[in-house]
A and B are shown apart, each in its own frame.
Chain A
Amino acid sequence: MKKQAVQAEEILNSANKLRWQIGDQFHDSLMESIYRDAERISQTVVNKKDEKPRFNWDRTLDRILTSRVVGLPVMMLLLALVFWITIAGANVPSGMIASVLIDKVHPILKDAASVLPWWMSGLLVDGVYLAAAWVISVMLPPMAIFFPMFTLLEDFGYLPRVAFNLDNLFRKSGAHGKQALTMSMGYGCNAAGIVATRIIDSPRERLIAIITNNFALCNGRWPTQILIASLFIGSLAPPALAGLVSAGAVMAVTLLGILLTFATSWALSRTILRGEASTFSLELPPYRPPRILQTLYTSLIDRTIFVLWRAVVFAVPAGAVIWLISNIKIGDLSIAAHIINLFDPFGLFIGLNGVILLAYIIAIPANEIVIPTILMLTVLSLHMAGVGEGAGVMFELQNSDAYMRLFNAGGWTLLTAINLMLFSLVHNPCSTTLYTIYKETKSAKWTAISAFLPIIMGLLLCFFVAQIWRLVQGMG
């Protein structure tokens, strides 16, 4: 026993002396010799066909798609096409799902629930069911169209070329070219965009992509932007130009989002993310014909259903909370009305109002229900009769006159509308996205930063716009 211990000591000692002799580079040499051996073996056992000059499809296509003249326009066109098909194609099924789930099924459920106490039927049917139905009808169709198209481009091999072409731009702000892809994915859904950042293998650049993904307007926010822009900004222009002007306003908000993505990426990589490790490499795989059925299947299961399920899970408690705070009364007023009164001074000060702030707090689970919640809360706080469906029941209106009457009654101005559009772009990610961020980073710190950075930026942005707006108005 003792002899063995002495021997072990000797071995350890000589190992300690020897380790200084093999030098610091032996990991490299090991790797090199592995490659040498592998090469020698493959040369003896693998038969290569005659080397033809490598003129082929791949090369030619790559030359075109990455050329200075054609590369960027082709990319713009393809992305525009994807967005257009998504927006144009999603309207009809969205309306259909809404008419079934909200107009038909909701009254039936309401009838069926009449045997229950009124508060239970309200909580379950008006609160929980309606929130889930809303999320599904707004979210499902665009995602079911957008994600498969995106996956097809990915499968074909085009997306890495986009990253390759745009990398220079992203490099200058400290980010990775693949962030262009996760950003585009974010236009469909931020949670899916966060999951997509797995393709970025460098830790620092991946965190940048995760934290800034929120600046890509997701499909829950597009309807808000379009509605407010056409109601308030389109109406400023002569009727013939109204459509164009409101589209321009939405475009401007989107571009501001891209600008903020670059600015925030730049700032993050130079401040809090300075010490994170960073590497770069980007494989450009060969093109191949997309496997359409498989793509449809995987993108529906992996992305659409996965994200939708998470969204519904989070929307359900939100529906309950919305119904409860509108129906539980303290003194004469509901909890919601109390909170609105509390928030109003600050909300108005930064060019929003208490209703919007409260709507953004209870709609953290899903941006889709922000507008219905705002409408319901406005009616509630003004005690309007004959509009809407009752306390705690979200609704939408049929035409723009009805919207304008409601918003005017709520004291909305052009400033409120502009700030709402800005705040919709720059505020905390929804809880589905936050949960996904936590799952992906496994870090409470980065999740908190992803939540608080945009909310602080959004409040500051609204504040500055409101003060400058008032300053200019005061002078005029």
Chain B
Amino acid sequence: MTHPLESLIFACLAIALALALFWPQQGFYWQIRRGNRNTERVVIEDALKHFYDREERGSAGTLASLAGSLEISHDKAASLIERLQKMDLLQTYRHGFRLKSEGRSYSLRVIRIHRLWERYLADETGVPEVDWHREAEFREHRTSADQAEEMAARMGNPQYDPHGDPIPSSTGELPPSNGILLTHLPVDELALIVHIEDEPEILYKQLVAQALHPGMKVQIAEKSQDRIVFIADGEEIVLAPVAAGNVTVEPLPKEQEMEGPYDTLDTLSPGENATVIGISRACRGMQRRRLMDLGVVPGTTISAEMRSAGGDPTAYGIRGATIALRSQQAKQIFVNRKEAA
């Protein structure tokens, strides 16, 4: 029989190897499988999306910008553009290239699937916010138009993805956008966040960390070269201009006022009452539906009943039933505290 120490060392090595290979998401096996996905279809669709994106921002895509965005060599980018032109999807335009109408509708189809997937991941799964984009990027090329329609129908034909980007309708229509970048918003003017850009990931992570999401009311307090201070739903937030430039807002009419900061349900101690103002937009999908099914809608009176022996879930009296919620969820319910009568 082998020496026990040898077999121990061998087993530890084998386990470490197996973990390194098959660890979900980061394992080599999965990375290799993902790495092999650059088929012709994927490359073409990514290229179309790139040109579409450029046009939306008011400039034309070039050979260099395509190579940079897809992380391929200039030679490959050149042959890719040639192919797109042969397929009658792309035409030259001034110094760069422009999508033909056929190419435009193809790219809108891909964008529709991408945004539907993001919405699906946000609402119907527990995939963390920072992974939505990457995951959708992976799945969009594997979804047929029929599957996408089925998915949209099942979700009730959503109009916006979780970052606030409109999902093109199946006929390729988009609403007019009258948003401006947060960095361009004049000081003291009130506006509504309509969109949060999810690329590049490092900036998006900063915005997620600040709990910013579409639907929040913002007001700039101070602008300078190296930082922007603003109030979002009553809370003061400081961002670098490069990060703030990834937030799009829509100015609101003058008569509206800044609201908040709101109290949240988790601040109630047992015995206190409060009226619901709303549920945070960050609370989505199944969890949001569950809360609304329980009767957590604006105007409902909620009383905190008791805390668990373990300290966390707190039982609340909601419309005659006693429901325990974790503090993490109660944090997402905005309330107006009632003074004890």
CB-CB under 8 A from A165, the residues of chain B are 308-310
How near does chain B come to A404, taking the closest CB pair, in angstroms? 25
Cross-chain contact A167 with B323 (CB below 8 angstroms)? no
Cross-chain contact B8 with A464 (CB below 8 angstroms)? yes
CB-CB under 8 A from A17, the residues of chain B are 173
How near does chain A come to B270, taking the closest CB pair, in angstroms? 9
CB-CB under 8 A from B313, the residues of chain A are 164, 167-168, 177, 280, 282
Cross-chain contact B126 with A284 (CB below 8 angstroms)? no
B157's closest neighbor in chain A, by CB? A19
B31 within 8 A of A: no
Given contacts A164-B315, A282-B323, contact A16 B171 (CB under 8 A): yes
Given contacts A20-B166, A24-B158, A27-B156, contact A35 B295 (CB under 8 A): yes
Cross-chain contact B24 with A271 (CB below 8 angstroms)? yes
How near does chain A come to B286, taking the closest CB pair, in angstroms? 5
How near does chain A come to B75, taking the closest CB pair, in angstroms? 38
Given contacts A24-B158, A275-B125, contact A72 B306 (CB under 8 A): no
How near does chain B come to A19, taking the closest CB pair, in angstroms? 6
Stretch in A115-123, A233-241, A467-475 touching the partner: A467-475
B297 within 8 A of A: yes
Interface 0/1 of B317-331, CB less than 8 Å to A: 000011111100100
Bound-state Cα–Cα, A263 to B102, Å: 54
Cross-chain contact B23 with A167 (CB below 8 angstroms)? no
B215's closest neighbor in chain A, by CB? A25
A155 within 8 A of B: no
Bound-state Cα–Cα, A71 to B306, Å: 13
> Restricting to B127-184, which residues have a CB under 8 Å from any CB of A?
127-128, 156-160, 166, 169, 171, 173, 175
Cross-chain contact A168 with B311 (CB below 8 angstroms)? yes
Bound-state Cα–Cα, A246 to B126, Å: 44
CB-CB under 8 A from A177, the residues of chain B are 313
Given contacts A24-B158, A164-B315, A272-B24, contact A280 B329 (CB under 8 A): yes
CB-CB under 8 A from B291, the residues of chain A are 281
How near does chain A come to B41, taking the closest CB pair, in angstroms? 24
CB-CB under 8 A from B171, the residues of chain A are 16
How near does chain B come to A442, taking the closest CB pair, in angstroms? 17
Bound-state Cα–Cα, A355 to B134, Å: 51
Bound-state Cα–Cα, A280 to B312, Å: 12
Bound-state Cα–Cα, A444 to B11, Å: 29
How near does chain B come to A469, taking the closest CB pair, in angstroms? 8
How near does chain B come to A296, taking the closest CB pair, in angstroms? 28
CB-CB under 8 A from A349, the residues of chain B are 1, 7
> Restricting to B286-341, which residues have a CB under 8 Å from any CB of A?
286-287, 290-292, 294-295, 297-300, 305-313, 315, 321-326, 329
A68 within 8 A of B: yes
B5 within 8 A of A: yes
Bound-state Cα–Cα, A19 to B160, Å: 11
Cross-chain contact B126 with A271 (CB below 8 angstroms)? no
Interface size of B by CB at 8 A reads 56
Partner of B286, one of A275, A277, A460: A277
CB-CB under 8 A from B215, the residues of chain A are 25
Bound-state Cα–Cα, A63 to B298, Å: 29
Partner of A284, one of B8, B128, B286, B322: B322
Main secondary structure of the interface of A (DSSP, over half): helix
Bound-state Cα–Cα, A474 to B307, Å: 54
CB-CB under 8 A from B290, the residues of chain A are 201, 279, 281
CB-CB under 8 A from A166, the residues of chain B are 310
CB-CB under 8 A from A281, the residues of chain B are 290-291, 294, 323-325, 329
Cross-chain contact A167 with B326 (CB below 8 angstroms)? yes
Q: Which of B15, B295, B322 has the most CB of A within 10 A?
A: B322
How near does chain A come to B289, taking the closest CB pair, in angstroms? 9
Given contacts A16-B173, A63-B306, A277-B125, contact A171 B312 (CB under 8 A): yes
A66 within 8 A of B: yes
Q: Which of B295, B325, B326 has the most CB of A within 10 A?
A: B326
CB-CB under 8 A from B124, the residues of chain A are 277
Interface 0/1 of A13-34, CB less than 8 Å to B: 0001101100111011001100
Interface 0/1 of B101-129, CB less than 8 Å to A: 00000000000000000000100111110
A69's closest neighbor in chain B, by CB? B309
CB-CB under 8 A from B121, the residues of chain A are 275
CB-CB under 8 A from B312, the residues of chain A are 167-168, 171
Given contacts A164-B315, A281-B325, contact A31 B4 (CB under 8 A): no
Cross-chain contact B298 with A471 (CB below 8 angstroms)? no
Cross-chain contact A467 with B173 (CB below 8 angstroms)? no
Cross-chain contact A271 with B23 (CB below 8 angstroms)? yes
Bound-state Cα–Cα, A349 to B128, Å: 43
Partner of B297, one of A20, A32, A202: A32
How near does chain A come to B163, taking the closest CB pair, in angstroms? 12
CB-CB under 8 A from A39, the residues of chain B are 299
A283 within 8 A of B: yes
B291's closest neighbor in chain A, by CB? A281
How near does chain B come to A475, taking the closest CB pair, in angstroms? 10
Given contacts A63-B306, A468-B8, contact A284 B125 (CB under 8 A): no
B285 within 8 A of A: yes
A114 within 8 A of B: no
CB-CB under 8 A from B321, the residues of chain A are 283
Closest 6 CB pairs of A and B: A168-B310, A71-B309, A20-B175, A168-B312, A282-B324, A467-B4
What are 6 A-B residue pairs whose CB atoms fall within 8 Å in the complex?
A: A16-B169, A63-B306, A164-B308, A168-B308, A349-B1, A460-B11
Known: A167-B308, A204-B126, A463-B11. 12 other contacts (CB 8 A): A17-B173, A27-B156, A32-B297, A62-B305, A66-B306, A164-B308, A167-B324, A277-B125, A277-B126, A279-B290, A283-B322, A463-B7
